[in-house]
Structure 1
Amino acid sequence: MRVGAVGLAVKAAMVTASALGALVAGSGTALARPELVPIAGDYSPGTIVVKTGERKLYLVLDGTHAMRYTVGVGKAGRQWAGTTKIDGKYKYPAWAPPADVKRDKPNIPDVIPGGSPQNPMGVAAMTLAGGEYAIHGTNVPGSVGGYVSYGCIRMLNADITDLYERVSIGTTVVVTR
């Protein structure tokens, strides 16, 4: 029974990836899209794996397949590695800068409302247990794919929307360098 469910998940992911690719190709947009790719490692289905050095996030579908997304990761001195879980999911969240961001940018507002073009969370955010980090969208798509954040994992708004629908609170997140 489980093999059939995994096979259906892989097929659904391939259909989704194909449909997304067609939408992007039809729009003339050259933005990265999730791709169905092979993955090695001993990860359970449903696990999110962030490979900081690759600037890629993988959502493990089964023992050999994952959806791969391009992400922005922590800049030099702001990278981290470890295992955590998603402890919250929010659409259009307001954002209050952490102390280190406020120290580096003292003129930044204390709170930026959700939906504001200046809000660095984009359309959605999934907070990670044990710190001030999140996997979130961005209103600056050109920053995705670089070493750009204070430790958060930054995704295109379309990609965070896709991932947000695929995972739940409690999902394991493994971040490697």
Structure 2
Amino acid sequence: MQISRRTMLAVMATAALPACASNPSREVASTEGGPLPPLTPFGTEQNFGDPRAIYAAMFDEGYDIPAVPIEQIDPRYYRQVIDNPTGEPPGTVVIDTSSHFLYLTREGGQAIRYGVGLGREGFEWAGRGVIEWKQKWPRWFPPNEMIDRQPELEQYRARQIPGTNEWEGGMQPGIQNPLGARALYIFQDGKDTLYRLHGSPEWFSIGKSVSSGCVRLINQDIIDLYDRVPDKTPIVVTGGLLPSSAVGIDGQGVI
């Protein structure tokens, strides 16, 4: 399978298993500080309530996603609506790496909370940015350093076709792909932070810090989040939520 050089640079920047931050990326105009994008409604009752329904098997974009054995996950990491603890305005994504929670703030003083898993790269960036763009079922291109350590990954090495701007290789999208069903790309001041939110087939890593990767969600959760946050959604990554008294009158607070 062949892909263009532009697409290659984009998907290589999502190579999140050994290192989210090892590949080139594009620069774009920043929209930080501008008006927040419109919110997507909470949705139907099927989105919340019985976790067996939330994490049931589903068919998405031609792929079968298996049910999650929810009895093996701490219930606090189930997707749920709670009172907004972040002090951030509606329509903001907040990741608290100290608690392994991701919040999507909503109107009415509420937030949707998702459990996340973190790798070492998930702790390497903190601050404010925007979700600049999103991708469904991304391909995975393991960095060359990882392939050198794990020769069995040689089949996924990216290769430029001689005399062209086309590339081939990489792991095809699918349920075993380390990037899962979706990837969200975080930019700051118009530049790629190389910080990613992505799905994962490894539901057992939620609520834990694993050896590698950025911020991973259960595939059912990353699909739900993807559908709720448009491009340019503001994001805050912090090692601990501030008390409400520490949030300034502009709502910006301190990271």
TM-score by structure 1 length?
Answer: 0.78
Letter paired with 1:23: A
- Root-mean-square deviation over aligned CA pairs: 3.2
What is the aligned partner in structure 2 of residue 136 from structure 1? 198
- Percent identical pairs in the alignment equals 32
What is the aligned partner in structure 1 of residue 171 from structure 2? 112
CA positional deviation for 1:103: 6.6
Distance in structure 1 (CA, Å) of the matches to 2:52 and 2:175? 29
CA contact (8 A) 2:80 2:112 kept: yes
Return closer, same or farther for 1:152/1:14 CA change in 2, 3 Å cut-off.
Answer: same
CA positional deviation for 1:139: 1.4
CA contact (8 A) 1:40 1:63 kept: no
Residue deviations 1:100-135 (CA, integer Å, cap 9, x gap): 655765653322221261x21111111112222211
Return closer, same or farther for 1:43/1:28 CA change in 2, 3 Å cut-off.
Answer: closer
**What is the correspondence of 1:118-157 to structure 2 with a 5 Å cutoff?**
119-129=177-187, 130-148=192-210, 150=212, 152-157=214-219
Distance in structure 2 (CA, Å) of the matches to 1:78 and 1:146? 12
Equivalent position to 1:68, from 110, 113, 118: 113
The answer to which of 101-110 and 132-141 deviates more is: 101-110
CA positional deviation for 1:70: 0.3
TM-score by structure 2 length?
Answer: 0.56
Higher relative contact order (CA 8 A, sep 6+): 2
Distance in structure 2 (CA, Å) of the matches to 1:149 and 1:14? 36
Distance in structure 2 (CA, Å) of the matches to 1:99 and 1:65? 43
The answer to whether residue 81 in structure 2 is matched with residue 23 in structure 1 is no
Max Rg structure: 2
Distance in structure 2 (CA, Å) of the matches to 1:127 and 1:149? 21
CA contact (8 A) 2:94 2:235 kept: yes
Distance in structure 2 (CA, Å) of the matches to 1:56 and 1:165? 18
Distance in structure 2 (CA, Å) of the matches to 1:17 and 1:165? 15
What is the aligned partner in structure 1 of residue 100 from structure 2? 55
CA contact (8 A) 2:178 2:201 kept: yes
Distance in structure 2 (CA, Å) of the matches to 1:87 and 1:38? 27
CA contact (8 A) 1:42 1:63 kept: no
Return closer, same or farther for 1:90/1:149 CA change in 2, 3 Å cut-off.
Answer: farther
